[in-house]
Amino acid sequence: MNRAFLVILFLHFGMLIYAQKITGLVLNQDSREPVDFASVFFNGTFVGTTTNESGYFELDVSKYRTRPLTVSAVGYHPASITEFTPRESHQVLLKRRVFEIEEVSVTSRSLVRKRKACMRIFKKEFIGLTSNARRCYILNERDISFNYDSDKDTLRAFASKPILIQNLSLGYDISYHLERFEYDRTTKTVLYTGNIIFNRDLIEDEESLNKYERRRAYAYSGSCKHFFRSLWANSLKASGFSVSTYRTGDPLNYENIVFQDLTGSKSLQYNQDLQIAYYDQLSYISFREYKVIFEQDGFFDPTPIIWTGKMSLQRIADFLPYEYLLSE
């Protein structure tokens, strides 16, 4: 009896392990032809893979089963997988993407100057202006196009391929799949969306470990990721954060703003704008929707909120993977 029980337990355990890996096919929505070399990954992590020539992929999703899996390919709109069904192949249909601008051959001096000016704005708003941005480089600038004079008030950027970034300040090689970039020259505000995959950690020895860890810890401290991790653990005060109402300055605690459902999922909710203080640094949250779902590792859905203040100044050069853990 005991032996039979152990066999059953072993088989059940094996099935659980197998269930963590999903497989799928990525196809062209119109032709149903396979899309090869499509990227399949969890946004903001090292976890990802690519499809083969048949559009097939398989990936271990055990670590991030509660969040969407991004599927992105050159020339297509991105898609996502939100439900992971074990032992069933997932079919992902990608829609062809038509860029809103025609390709422009930058040969004249005037266009060269305009492109340089546009690239300066793009780097400032996309890479950022913090100390980390000084050693953060775009490796394939030629794959980035701009709308130039078609709209004088709004600068738009388009990337024909994933933007390859080497961050020599924090020590990562990154690919960013840009969906949208708009910079309003009048209001000096920027909107960009996309998905990021971490390709390589540049730590190779003890010396580089010490250098990068110091910079990573500095970038992490007071960041959005730091805030949501502290909020999940109900350790805001111990981490140096405090939350209050924006208009009246009334202090708020964990019970006022965090709600947990029966599945264990947590969300940030409040009926007015919030002020977040990290020691003397101030940031602000405006709610576009009534709740913001977040997770233990600091992952959160960015669409329901608008950031202003200190946290909003951090850009790609300051972004850390969700695998990052602050050294003790």
pLDDT tens string, the chain, 328 residues long: the values are 455 444 444 444 444 444 588 999 999 999 999 999 999 999 999 999 999 999 999 999 999 988 999 999 999 999 999 988 877 899 999 999 876 655 555 556 678 888 999 999 999 999 999 999 999 999 999 999 998 765 678 999 999 899 999 999 999 999 999 999 999 988 888 989 999 999 999 999 998 899 999 999 999 999 999 999 999 999 999 999 999 999 999 999 999 999 999 988 999 999 999 999 999 999 999 999 989 999 999 999 888 999 999 999 999 999 999 999 987 6
HEC per residue, the chain: CHHHHHHHHHHHHHHHHHHCEEEEEEEECCCCCECCCCEEECCCECCEEECCCCCEEEEECHHHCCCCEEEECCCECCEEECCCCCCCCEEEEECECCCCCCCCCCCCHHHHHHHHHHHHHHHHHHCCCCHHHHHEEECCHHHEEECHHHCCCEEEEEECCCEEEEECCCCEEEEEEEEEEEEECCCCEEEEEEEEEEEEECCCCHHHHHHHHHHHHHHHCCCHHHHHHHHHCCCHHHHCEEEEECCCCCEECHHHHEEECCCCCEEEECCCCEEEEECCEEEEEEECCCEEEECCCCCECCCCEEEEEHHHHCCHHHCCCCCCCCCC
pTM: 0.87
224-257 residue pLDDT tens:
999 999 999 999 999 999 999 999 999 999 999 9
